[in-house]
Chains A and B, each alone.
Chain A
Amino acid sequence: DGGITQSPKYLFRKEGQNVTLSCEQNLNHDAMYWYRQDPGQGLRLIYYSQIVNDFQKGDIAEGYSVSREKKESFPLTVTSAQKNPTAFYLCASSIGGLLIGTDTQYFGPGTRLTVL
Protein backbone atom coordinates (compact mmCIF):
# COMPACT_ATOMS: atom_id res chain seq x y z
CA ASP A 1 0.00 0.00 0.00
CA GLY A 2 1.26 3.46 -0.87
CA GLY A 3 1.35 6.04 1.84
CA ILE A 4 3.23 8.14 4.33
CA THR A 5 4.56 6.76 7.58
CA GLN A 6 5.73 8.71 10.58
CA SER A 7 7.46 7.27 13.58
CA PRO A 8 7.17 7.19 16.45
CA LYS A 9 3.53 8.08 17.11
CA TYR A 10 4.36 9.41 20.59
CA LEU A 11 7.70 10.83 21.61
CA PHE A 12 8.92 12.16 24.91
CA ARG A 13 12.12 14.09 25.43
CA LYS A 14 13.81 15.98 28.17
CA GLU A 15 14.49 19.66 27.87
CA GLY A 16 17.75 20.43 26.14
CA GLN A 17 17.79 17.28 24.02
CA ASN A 18 17.60 17.14 20.26
CA VAL A 19 15.12 14.67 18.80
CA THR A 20 14.54 13.46 15.24
CA LEU A 21 11.11 12.65 13.81
CA SER A 22 10.95 10.23 10.92
CA CYS A 23 8.87 10.63 7.75
CA GLU A 24 8.90 8.13 4.89
CA GLN A 25 6.75 8.00 1.76
CA ASN A 26 6.45 5.42 -0.99
CA LEU A 27 4.20 7.48 -3.27
CA ASN A 28 7.10 8.54 -5.50
CA HIS A 29 6.34 12.16 -4.63
CA ASP A 30 8.99 14.80 -5.23
CA ALA A 31 7.78 17.29 -2.63
CA MET A 32 7.63 16.79 1.13
CA TYR A 33 6.57 19.05 3.99
CA TRP A 34 6.65 19.34 7.77
CA TYR A 35 3.90 21.06 9.75
CA ARG A 36 3.34 21.80 13.39
CA GLN A 37 -0.12 21.77 14.95
CA ASP A 38 -0.87 23.23 18.37
CA PRO A 39 -4.12 22.54 20.25
CA GLY A 40 -7.10 24.28 18.73
CA GLN A 41 -5.07 25.70 15.89
CA GLY A 42 -4.46 25.06 12.24
CA LEU A 43 -1.23 23.82 10.73
CA ARG A 44 1.89 25.93 10.36
CA LEU A 45 4.61 25.12 7.86
CA ILE A 46 8.07 24.40 9.29
CA TYR A 47 10.10 23.28 6.26
CA TYR A 48 9.43 21.93 2.80
CA SER A 49 11.47 20.22 0.13
CA GLN A 50 10.68 20.31 -3.57
CA ILE A 51 13.38 17.85 -4.60
CA VAL A 52 16.16 15.72 -3.19
CA ASN A 53 19.03 17.65 -1.60
CA ASP A 54 16.99 20.85 -1.51
CA PHE A 55 14.73 22.34 1.17
CA GLN A 56 13.24 25.70 2.10
CA LYS A 57 12.23 27.31 5.38
CA GLY A 58 8.57 27.70 6.09
CA ASP A 59 6.91 30.12 8.47
CA ILE A 60 8.31 28.75 11.74
CA ALA A 61 11.69 27.16 10.91
CA GLU A 62 13.60 28.48 13.91
CA GLY A 63 14.76 25.68 16.20
CA TYR A 64 14.22 23.00 13.56
CA SER A 65 16.42 21.37 10.93
CA VAL A 66 15.77 18.93 8.08
CA SER A 67 17.60 16.90 5.48
CA ARG A 68 16.51 15.37 2.18
CA GLU A 69 19.13 12.86 1.13
CA LYS A 70 16.62 10.45 -0.36
CA LYS A 71 13.39 11.02 -2.25
CA GLU A 72 11.48 8.82 0.18
CA SER A 73 12.69 10.36 3.42
CA PHE A 74 12.43 13.79 5.03
CA PRO A 75 13.45 13.64 8.72
CA LEU A 76 12.84 16.60 11.02
CA THR A 77 15.13 17.38 13.94
CA VAL A 78 13.72 19.41 16.79
CA THR A 79 16.70 21.06 18.40
CA SER A 80 17.17 22.37 21.91
CA ALA A 81 16.89 25.86 20.43
CA GLN A 82 13.17 25.36 19.86
CA LYS A 83 11.59 27.19 22.79
CA ASN A 84 8.24 25.42 22.87
CA PRO A 85 8.57 22.08 21.07
CA THR A 86 5.59 20.26 22.58
CA ALA A 87 3.15 19.86 19.68
CA PHE A 88 1.71 17.50 17.09
CA TYR A 89 3.94 17.20 14.01
CA LEU A 90 2.56 16.24 10.63
CA CYS A 91 4.51 15.26 7.55
CA ALA A 92 3.01 15.54 4.07
CA SER A 93 4.00 14.88 0.49
CA SER A 94 2.78 15.91 -2.94
CA ILE A 95 3.57 15.07 -6.53
CA GLY A 96 5.56 18.25 -7.01
CA GLY A 97 7.44 18.83 -10.24
CA LEU A 98 5.57 21.18 -12.53
CA LEU A 99 2.58 21.03 -10.19
CA ILE A 100 4.56 22.11 -7.16
CA GLY A 101 2.72 24.71 -5.15
CA THR A 102 -0.74 23.80 -6.31
CA ASP A 103 -0.91 20.04 -6.04
CA THR A 104 -2.68 18.17 -3.30
CA GLN A 105 -0.75 17.36 -0.16
CA TYR A 106 -1.27 13.98 1.50
CA PHE A 107 -0.53 13.60 5.18
CA GLY A 108 0.99 11.02 7.47
CA PRO A 109 -0.50 9.98 10.83
CA GLY A 110 1.60 12.46 12.82
CA THR A 111 3.95 12.35 15.79
CA ARG A 112 2.97 13.83 19.14
CA LEU A 113 6.05 15.25 20.82
CA THR A 114 6.03 16.05 24.52
CA VAL A 115 8.91 17.77 26.27
CA LEU A 116 9.16 16.85 29.93
Chain B
Amino acid sequence: AQKVTQAQTEISVVEKEDVTLDCVYETRDTTYYLFWYKQPPSGELVFLIRRNSFDEQNEISGRYSWNFQKSTSSFNFTITASQVVDSAVYFCALIKGDSSASKIIFGSGTRLSIRP
Protein backbone atom coordinates (compact mmCIF):
# COMPACT_ATOMS: atom_id res chain seq x y z
CA ALA B 1 0.00 0.00 0.00
CA GLN B 2 1.10 3.53 -0.65
CA LYS B 3 1.05 6.20 1.99
CA VAL B 4 2.30 9.74 2.51
CA THR B 5 2.82 11.07 6.02
CA GLN B 6 3.23 14.70 6.94
CA ALA B 7 3.63 14.51 10.68
CA GLN B 8 3.72 18.27 11.22
CA THR B 9 0.12 19.45 11.27
CA GLU B 10 0.97 23.10 11.88
CA ILE B 11 4.17 25.12 11.98
CA SER B 12 4.53 28.76 12.95
CA VAL B 13 7.76 30.73 12.56
CA VAL B 14 8.81 34.33 12.49
CA GLU B 15 9.55 35.91 9.15
CA LYS B 16 13.10 35.37 7.84
CA GLU B 17 13.51 32.12 9.73
CA ASP B 18 14.25 28.94 7.79
CA VAL B 19 11.66 26.19 8.02
CA THR B 20 11.59 22.55 6.92
CA LEU B 21 8.45 20.62 6.13
CA ASP B 22 8.77 16.87 6.49
CA CYS B 23 7.36 14.26 4.15
CA VAL B 24 7.75 10.50 4.59
CA TYR B 25 6.33 8.09 2.05
CA GLU B 26 5.69 4.37 1.74
CA THR B 27 5.61 2.45 -1.50
CA ARG B 28 6.71 -0.93 -2.80
CA ASP B 29 7.22 0.37 -6.31
CA THR B 30 10.72 1.02 -7.58
CA THR B 31 9.44 3.68 -9.94
CA TYR B 32 7.37 6.46 -8.45
CA TYR B 33 6.98 10.21 -8.48
CA LEU B 34 6.87 12.68 -5.63
CA PHE B 35 5.27 16.11 -5.62
CA TRP B 36 4.90 19.17 -3.45
CA TYR B 37 1.91 21.51 -3.80
CA LYS B 38 1.15 24.80 -2.06
CA GLN B 39 -2.42 25.73 -1.12
CA PRO B 40 -2.72 29.43 -0.24
CA PRO B 41 -5.86 30.78 1.47
CA SER B 42 -7.50 31.23 -1.93
CA GLY B 43 -7.76 27.44 -2.13
CA GLU B 44 -6.10 26.64 -5.43
CA LEU B 45 -3.31 24.06 -5.30
CA VAL B 46 -0.13 25.38 -6.84
CA PHE B 47 2.35 22.87 -8.23
CA LEU B 48 5.87 23.33 -6.81
CA ILE B 49 7.96 20.33 -7.81
CA ARG B 50 7.89 16.80 -9.26
CA ARG B 51 10.70 14.28 -8.76
CA ASN B 52 11.05 10.71 -9.97
CA SER B 53 12.46 7.94 -7.84
CA PHE B 54 15.65 7.63 -9.90
CA ASP B 55 16.73 11.20 -9.36
CA GLU B 56 17.97 11.79 -5.84
CA GLN B 57 19.66 15.07 -6.56
CA ASN B 58 18.59 17.83 -4.26
CA GLU B 59 16.94 20.74 -5.98
CA ILE B 60 16.98 24.44 -5.24
CA SER B 61 14.64 27.02 -6.67
CA GLY B 62 15.17 30.45 -5.20
CA ARG B 63 14.32 30.24 -1.49
CA TYR B 64 12.89 26.75 -1.90
CA SER B 65 14.91 23.54 -1.70
CA TRP B 66 14.03 19.88 -1.62
CA ASN B 67 15.95 17.00 -0.05
CA PHE B 68 15.04 13.59 -1.48
CA GLN B 69 16.49 10.60 0.39
CA LYS B 70 15.40 7.14 -0.70
CA SER B 71 17.25 5.53 2.22
CA THR B 72 14.82 7.16 4.65
CA SER B 73 11.86 7.43 2.22
CA SER B 74 11.74 11.15 2.76
CA PHE B 75 11.21 14.15 0.53
CA ASN B 76 11.58 17.19 2.76
CA PHE B 77 10.95 20.78 1.71
CA THR B 78 12.88 23.75 3.12
CA ILE B 79 12.01 27.40 2.80
CA THR B 80 14.94 29.71 3.48
CA ALA B 81 14.38 33.22 4.81
CA SER B 82 10.63 32.69 5.04
CA GLN B 83 8.20 35.44 4.09
CA VAL B 84 4.61 36.14 5.07
CA VAL B 85 3.52 35.18 1.53
CA ASP B 86 4.78 31.66 2.20
CA SER B 87 1.89 31.15 4.63
CA ALA B 88 -0.18 28.31 3.20
CA VAL B 89 -0.95 24.64 3.54
CA TYR B 90 1.68 22.49 1.86
CA PHE B 91 0.94 19.02 0.56
CA CYS B 92 3.35 16.26 -0.30
CA ALA B 93 2.08 13.62 -2.74
CA LEU B 94 3.10 10.33 -4.33
CA ILE B 95 2.11 8.58 -7.53
CA LYS B 96 3.14 5.09 -8.50
CA GLY B 97 5.16 4.46 -11.59
CA ASP B 98 2.76 2.33 -13.56
CA SER B 99 0.07 4.27 -15.30
CA SER B 100 -2.84 1.95 -14.68
CA ALA B 101 -4.47 3.67 -11.75
CA SER B 102 -3.64 7.30 -12.32
CA LYS B 103 -4.05 7.94 -8.62
CA ILE B 104 -2.05 10.46 -6.70
CA ILE B 105 -1.87 9.94 -2.95
CA PHE B 106 -1.76 13.12 -0.88
CA GLY B 107 -0.49 13.62 2.63
CA SER B 108 -2.75 15.41 5.07
CA GLY B 109 -0.85 18.67 4.67
CA THR B 110 1.18 21.01 6.88
CA ARG B 111 -0.23 24.42 7.68
CA LEU B 112 2.63 26.94 7.68
CA SER B 113 2.14 30.34 9.28
CA ILE B 114 4.80 33.00 8.90
CA ARG B 115 4.49 35.76 11.50
CA PRO B 116 5.75 39.25 10.64
Contacts and interface: CB of A to CB of B under 8 A. Distances in A.
Q: Do A and B come from one complex?
A: yes
Interface of A: 31, 40-43, 45, 48, 50, 56, 58-59, 88, 90, 92, 98-102, 104-110, 112
B61 interface: no
A28 B37 CA distance: 22
Nearest to B97: A102
23 contacts: A42-B4, A42-B106, A42-B107, A45-B103, A50-B102, A90-B44, A90-B45, A92-B45, A99-B99, A100-B102, A101-B95, A101-B96, A101-B100, A101-B101, A101-B102, A102-B33, A102-B95, A102-B97, A104-B47, A105-B47, A107-B44, A107-B45, A108-B44
A45 B106 CA distance: 10
Contacts of A41: 108-109
Contact of B43 (A92, A100, A109): A109
B: contact size bracket: 20 to 34
A10 to B, nearest CB: 11
B43 A110 contact: yes
Interface string B3-38: 010000100000000000000000000000101010
A35 B24 CA distance: 22
B109 A48 contact: no
B99 A42 contact: no
B108 A40 contact: yes
Contact of A110 (B44, B91, B96): B44
Interface in B101-116: 101-104, 106-109
A40 B111 CA distance: 9
Given A41-B108, A42-B106, A106 B101 contact: no
A88 B109 CA distance: 15
Most chain A beta carbons < 10 A, residue from B9, B47, B97, B102 = B102
B32 to A, nearest CB: 8
Contacts of B106: 42-43
Contacts of A101: 95-96, 98-103
